[in-house]
Chains A and B, each alone.
Chain A
Amino acid sequence: MTFSIRRFRAMVKKEWKDSIRNPQILLNAGMPILLAVLFNQKEDEPSDLTFLSIPILVAISITGAFVQANMIAEEKEKNTLRSLMLSPASKLEVLAGKSATTTLFALLVIAVCLAISGVPDVNIVYLIILSILLLLIFMALGTVIGLIARTASESSIVGLPLLLLFIFGPIFVPNLDLPALMKIIDVLPSHQFMLAITALIQDGGLSQIGGNLLNLVLWTIVSLALCFLVYGKKRFDK
């Protein structure tokens, strides 16, 4: 396996120039910011600490999964992936370039969201570790969606169940009386992330968030493995 930094940088440069002109991607990146503004209106409910983690969760998950999926699927839709695959660039270089661009987008969106909602008063090191793991998970899932979907709009449709379950599940289901669904929601990394942030806000330490952290690490391993499995399957046309 070869990895050329020159080709990787060329990909990042191109992705960035392309993405900031792509309305679909801008919409995906704008959604968390909009939600942060909306949730910010709920400040009169400080008893519900989970709300403090929502802007970060939404920023990471929507940007990570949807921007990534959109970028990959569009290359297939427009037949540009074929040109890349016919150049000396490897699939790893192409994917790394996209992931780096998605990360850049995510960082920007997180920064804007935090500027709106305020930085939760927690141990910054834990917050960063949790956020990195969550971003890896959602980018891996976004990559899988992007590889499965044939067009950019299909990637939004394929990603919709993920959006509803992973992102809005932990936000809304706890307030509904649905124990069966809640069991599923409970093992999702997004929910574990929210629980961990809530524990951190209440001055919890590693012993309080250890379980959540383990869950996120497991999810990271599984989703990255899934991603490489799907990714490895396509070298040739059938």
Chain B
Amino acid sequence: MLREGVIVMQSIIEVEGLEKLYKKKRALKNISFQVKQGEIFGFLGPSGSGKTTTVKILTSQLLYTSGRVKVLGSDPARSRHSEFLGKIGVLTDNSGTYERLSVYDNLALFCRLYGVADRRIETVLDAVNLNDDKHTLVGRLSKGMKQRVTLARTILHEPDILFLDEPTSALDPVNSGRIQQTLREMNSRGTTIFLTTHNMQEAEELCDRVAFLNHGEISALDTPQALRLQYGDRSITVTTQQGKQVVQQNDAGANLIRELIQRGDLLAIHSNEPTLGDIFVKLTGRGLE
């Protein structure tokens, strides 16, 4: 557990030279990365890039072809199963819920399977904003509400690592905002989060570091800020009465801006920071959707 003040930047997930072959299809091509304890790590990539495959391997649902994988200090394919599973929380891209049971009964089952007290149910339902519907049958809920039930179930046992495969894909902005808030709170209490998404804004707001996955390869891995600095062209847009104008960060640009300021013509000035989405396109030649 990570406690405030005692920051040991230990790797909680280590992946080296990971390969996954489905029959002949090479879904993961020699990927390597580490996730540190307490981090929110974003795994970004378009559909079919291998995000779910990676999550499945890390959570012992799928065997890998070659390479080295360590999660919480052991190989997920070989670890003592139920002990390992008790320390991780997994939200898959198609997690199901029992539709003929109430929200509460769904969570009560998992409380007992994980060995946690029933009063956790109230807490997690608050976190996903579903306390008003706790006695509703899950079959009567909307898609986004079901997704929140699944998320509530995933965090019931306060796992050391949370694996979230597209956690907010069916949510409206209000609820995805609330869930991001919940994730941040859990993270500040020590939970490491491994998140896949193709929502760049979510990644930008939430993640300490992001990896770009493209056709099974990692094409960049860094903090969102470092990526922006590295791949931005560092130009500046100035707005005057005459309109917008892009200037470079050199002597000519500096002179122009000084002139505009002296003349009192400068209305606005912005650095042209690229979004993560822009950088992804620049690196891979393809968009994220």
Instruction: Report A's interface with B, CB cutoff 8 A.
Output: 2, 6-7, 9-11, 13-14, 17-18, 21-22, 78-80, 82-90, 236-238
Contact = CB atoms under 8 A, between A and B. Distances in A.
B91 to A, nearest CB: 9
Interface string B203-247: 000000000000000000000000000000000000000000000
A6 B113 CA distance: 8
B105 A83 contact: no
B96 A88 contact: no
Given A80-B96, A82-B95, A83-B96, A2 B63 contact: no
B98 A79 contact: no
A88 B84 CA distance: 8
Given A17-B101, A82-B96, A86-B90, A6 B82 contact: no
A175 B61 CA distance: 52
Interface string B53-66: 00010011111000
B112 A7 contact: yes
A237 B57 CA distance: 10
Contact of B96 (A18, A22, A79): A79
A22 B63 CA distance: 35
23 contacts: A2-B82, A6-B112, A11-B109, A14-B101, A17-B100, A17-B101, A18-B98, A18-B101, A78-B98, A79-B94, A79-B95, A83-B150, A83-B153, A86-B59, A86-B61, A86-B92, A87-B110, A88-B83, A88-B85, A88-B86, A89-B113, A236-B61, A236-B63
Given A86-B59, A236-B62, A14 B98 contact: yes
A17 B112 CA distance: 15
B99 interface: yes
B115 A82 contact: no
Contacts of B95: 79, 82-83
Given A78-B96, A237-B62, A88 B101 contact: no
Contacts of B63: 236
Contacts of A2: 82
Contact of A88 (B82, B92, B105, B150): B82
A236 B98 CA distance: 22
A86 B85 contact: yes
A78 B98 CA distance: 8
Contacts of B119: none
A59 B105 CA distance: 30
B97 interface: yes
B114 A22 contact: no
B3 interface: no
Contacts of A22: 100
B263 interface: no
Contacts of B90: 86
Interface in B164-202: none
A46 B113 CA distance: 52
Given A83-B150, A88-B113, 16 more contacts: A6-B115, A10-B108, A18-B98, A18-B100, A78-B98, A79-B92, A80-B97, A82-B94, A82-B96, A83-B110, A85-B61, A86-B61, A86-B90, A87-B113, A90-B81, A236-B62
Nearest to A83: B95
Interface in B72-129: 77, 81-83, 85-86, 90, 92, 94-101, 105, 108-110, 112-115
B132 to A, nearest CB: 22
Interface in B2-28: 22
Contact of A9 (B97, B101, B105, B112): B112
A90 B82 contact: yes
Contacts of A6: 112, 115
B56 A237 contact: yes
Contacts of B97: 78, 80, 83
Contacts of A236: 60-63, 77
A79 B86 CA distance: 19
A87 B92 contact: no
Given A21-B100, A78-B96, A83-B153, A88 B114 contact: yes
B144 to A, nearest CB: 17
Nearest to A88: B82
Most buried by B among A78, A82, A83: A83
Contacts of B101: 14, 17-18
Nearest to B23: A238
B61 A87 contact: no
Ranked nearest first, the 7 interchain pairs of A and B with the lowest CB-CB distance are: A79-B96, A10-B112, A88-B82, A80-B96, A78-B96, A21-B100, A87-B113
